[in-house]
């Protein structure tokens, strides 16, 4: 399996504070990998490095066979890496449809907006029902779906998804993971940073467990329940 993403001995820091220590991991084409760990283990930092939002202080980051270590985030995006961060990032005073139109016009041009809207509403049917509603009046889960739709419709080679279930009701988490499964079936590889371990294990092939900024364990998703500490498995 060819690697869409490979981190080789990556260390990273925020100013004088080191956050990652020689982290190595790979995500193969069409593969889903869960990145797990306790709060503060370095999961979000790893996600930021994987999508070019934070340059490694040492080590290398390879995307689809190209060394992009230290390259700007737009180079990662052009190579097919999309980043869905934790939290909500919507324009509150615009409608759902206008939020999507603004994003798709930039990425697909005016001619591609209609098809992109259709795909977004297929991935998230609840957004179709809210298409004329102001984004700021949506529920927290619906706002998360809207921010995800802007990324997922572009069908990236790799989606780095950071804590997408954080703070969401269980039924909304199920909807989010259904959308991730459909995206994977369409050929997108996934690096899932997640606190809700059961959902991550159900979707992913492999698991990388971080502890104190370093890889503490890695293996198949089927092996993970006996390898992951209880405090990580039940933290959600």
Distance CA 233, CA 226 (A): 10
Q: Quick check: 11 and 39 in contact, CB under 8 A?
A: no
What integer pLDDT is reported at residue 164 of this predicted model? 79
Q: How far is CA 92 from CA 2, 95, 102, 116, in A?
A: 40, 8, 13, 21
CA neighbours closer than 13 Å in the CB half-sphere of residue 66: 10
Report the domain count for the chain: 1
State the pLDDT at residue 170: 83
pTM of the model: 0.86
The count of residues in the chain is 236
Residue 148 lies in a domain: no
In a domain, 136, yes or no: no
| Inside any domain, residue 192 | yes
Residue 235 pLDDT grade (very low, low, confident, very high; cuts 50, 70, 90): low
Burial class of 120 by CB neighbour count within 10 A (0 to 12, 13 to 18, 19+): buried
In a domain, 129, yes or no: no
For CA atoms 79, 84, 89, 95, the dihedral sign is positive
Question: Does residue 167 have a pLDDT over 80?
Answer: no
Look up the CATH number of the domain holding residue 54. Answer: 3.40.50.300
Encode pLDDT of 170-210 as tens digits. Answer: 888 888 888 889 889 989 999 999 877 888 999 999 999 99
Residue 171 burial (C-beta neighbours within 10 Å; 0-12, 13-18, 19+): exposed
> Per the domain annotation, does 207 fall within a domain?
yes
Residue 143 inside a domain? The answer is no
Domain span at 185: 3-89+156-233
pLDDT number for residue 123: 82
Confirm whether 139 is domain-assigned: no
| Position 161 in a domain | yes
Order of strands across the sheet that contains 17-28: 17-28, 3-14, 58-63, 66-67
Closest Cα to residue 12, out of 40, 48, 65?
48
**Token pair of 36, please?**
């797990």
Token pair of 121 as six digits: 């509403």
Average pLDDT over residues 89-98: 90
């Amino acid at each position: 399996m060819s690697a869409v993403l490979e981190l080789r001995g990556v260390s990273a820091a925020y100013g004088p504070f080191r956050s990652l220590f020689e982290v190595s991991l790979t995500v193969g084409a069409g593969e889903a990998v869960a990145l797990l760990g306790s709060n503060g283990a370095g999961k979000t930092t790893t996600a930021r490095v994987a999508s070019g939002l934070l340059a490694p202080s040492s080590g290398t980051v390879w995307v689809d066979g190209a060394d992009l270590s230290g390259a700007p985030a737009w180079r990662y995006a052009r190579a097919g890496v999309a980043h869905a961060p934790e939290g909500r990032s919507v324009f509150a005073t615009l409608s759902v449809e206008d939020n999507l139109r603004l994003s798709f016009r930039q990425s697909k041009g005016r001619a591609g907006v209609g098809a992109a809207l259709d795909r977004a509403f297929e991935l998230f049917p609840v957004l179709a029902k809210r298409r004329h509603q102001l984004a700021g009046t949506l529920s927290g889960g619906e706002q998360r779906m809207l921010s995800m739709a802007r990324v997922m419709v572009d069908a990236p080679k790799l989606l780095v998804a950071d804590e997408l279930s954080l703070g969401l009701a269980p039924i909304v988490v199920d909807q989010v993971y259904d959308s991730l499964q459909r995206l994977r079936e369409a050929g997108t590889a996934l690096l899932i940073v997640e606190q809700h371990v059961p959902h991550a294990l159900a979707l992913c092939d492999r698991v990388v467990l971080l502890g104190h900024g370093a890889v503490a364990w890695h293996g198949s998703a089927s092996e993970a329940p006996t390898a992951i500490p209880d405090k990580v498995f039940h933290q959600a």
